[in-house]
């Protein structure tokens, strides 16, 4: 029997400042996701798998009627204590959202879908609760990124442990799904009309690259990271994170 841990503590999953490339990746992913939600003023926006709640709070601060949903009691308490009642915090699974049909303007799911037991059911729920003209924004890590491909190739040549670095292509134990662009778009397009797919950052997780960036000036590392990010926007299949925006398909809601 599988037992769900409703006290789960995801504090280690969302990294605090670690390195320039990590900071860049998480900052840019957040900016892109929040921008993809559109003008939040007076919109009803739900962040599914809201974790610490910082994104739901950012949207509320910009004038949204913001909701944060997470099954973890611990994360809910954290968010509530940190951000208070400007956001409506709801303890819920993404696969069974306690919202009426077509009542939300935007559903955001950032860095969470790969933790869900049944992402297909959750994606259906996103399309059920969002209005016909509403928007759904999903961001996940790409395990076919350039970093993962390079690291996998190095791994074939140098036996494990010899080069002593983290293997970015290894899926963390708290992920249920190992996403790549094909799988993500395949799952989403069953229920959504995809409007946009964007890549964020290139090279994250390659320790030598990260160390190289750390030795450069702040300005130089920023320029390199920005250039790599521009490339990622054009080549999402190689990017570290994928951000997809779509609208509910009519057939999915009938
Ligand atoms: C990596 S955190 C991301 C949190 C937040 N979206 C962010 O970007 O900082 C993943 C979150 O998904 C939540 N989660 C896991 N399974 C879930 C499910 N089936 N439905 C909704 N949330 C889930 C976890 O409790 C956790 O807070």
Q: Phi and psi dihedrals of 115, rounded to 5?
A: -95, -10
Give the angle 128-2-91 at the CA atoms, nearest 5°: 45
CA distance 154 to 139: 27
Coil/strand/helix, residue 134: strand
Q: Phi and psi dihedrals of 248, rounded to 5?
A: -65, 140
Q: Residue 27 domain-assigned?
A: yes
Give the angle 64-67-73 at the CA atoms, nearest 5°: 150
The predicted-structure confidence for 184-197, as pLDDT tens digits, reads as follows 999 999 999 999 99
- Say what the pLDDT of residue 64 is: 98
Q: Residue 29 domain-assigned?
A: yes
> Taking CB atoms and a 6 Å cutoff, what residues make up the pocket around ligand 1?
8, 10, 13-14, 48-52, 70-72, 75, 93-95, 110-112, 115-117
pTM exceeds 0.95? no
pLDDT band at 169 (very low <50, low <70, confident <90, very high): confident
Separation of CA 102 and ligand 1 centre (Å): 22
Q: Residue 2 domain-assigned?
A: no
pLDDT band at 4 (very low <50, low <70, confident <90, very high): low
Q: Residue 95 domain-assigned?
A: yes
- The residue-averaged pLDDT of 242-246 equals 98
No. of helices (H) and no. of strands (E), the chain: 8, 7
Ranges 11-15, 16-20, 42-46, 158-162: which has the least confidence: 11-15
Q: Residue 16 domain-assigned?
A: no
Ranges 12-26, 39-53, 58-72, 212-226: which has the least confidence: 12-26
Q: Residue 254 domain-assigned?
A: no
Total domains in the fold of the chain: 1
The predicted-structure confidence for 226-243, as pLDDT tens digits, reads as follows 999 999 999 999 999 999
Q: What value does the mean pLDDT of the chain take?
A: 90
Q: Residue 201 domain-assigned?
A: yes
Nearest CA to ligand 1 atom 24: 49
pLDDT band at 1 (very low <50, low <70, confident <90, very high): very low
More confident residue, 97 or 173: 97
Q: Is 60 exceeded by the pLDDT of residue 2?
A: no
Separation of CA 138 and ligand 1 centre (Å): 12
Separation of CA 49 and ligand 1 centre (Å): 3
Q: Residue 171 domain-assigned?
A: yes
Separation of CA 161 and ligand 1 centre (Å): 31
Separation of CA 159 and ligand 1 centre (Å): 34
Which structural domain range is residue 78 located in? 21-248
CA distance 169 to 224: 22
More confident residue, 6 or 96: 96
Q: Is 90 exceeded by the pLDDT of residue 106?
A: yes
Provide the CATH number for the domain around residue 218: 3.40.50.150
More confident residue, 4 or 52: 52
Quick one: which atom of ligand 1 is closest to the CA of 116?
19
């Amino acid at each position: 029997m599988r037992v769900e841990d409703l006290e789960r503590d995801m504090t280690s999953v969302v990294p605090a400042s670690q390195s320039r490339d990590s900071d860049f990746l998480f900052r840019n992913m957040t900016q892109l996701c929040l921008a993809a939600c559109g003008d939040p003023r007076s919109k009803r926006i739900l962040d599914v798998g809201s974790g610490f709640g910082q994104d739901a709070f950012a949207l509320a601060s910009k004038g949204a009627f913001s909701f944060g949903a997470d099954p973890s009691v611990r994360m809910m308490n954290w968010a509530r204590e940190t951000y208070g009642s400007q956001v409506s915090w709801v303890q819920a699974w993404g696969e069974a959202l306690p919202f009426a049909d077509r009542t939300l303007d935007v559903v955001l799911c950032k860095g969470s879908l790969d933790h869900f037991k049944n992402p297909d059911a959750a994606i259906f729920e996103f399309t059920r609760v969002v209005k016909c003209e509403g928007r759904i924004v999903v961001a996940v890590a790409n395990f076919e990124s350039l970093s993962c491909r390079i690291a996998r190739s190095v791994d074939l040549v140098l036996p494990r442990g010899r080069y002593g670095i983290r293997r970015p292509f290894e899926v963390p134990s708290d992920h249920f799904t190992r996403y790549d662009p094909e799988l993500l778009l395949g799952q989403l397009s069953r229920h959504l009309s995809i409007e946009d797919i964007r890549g964020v950052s290139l090279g994250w997780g390659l320790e030598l690259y990260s160390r190289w960036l750390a030795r450069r000036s702040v300005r130089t590392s920023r320029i390199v990271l920005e250039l790599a990010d521009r490339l990622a926007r054009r080549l999402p299949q190689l990017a570290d994170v994928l951000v997809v925006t779509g609208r509910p398909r009519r057939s999915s809601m009938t």
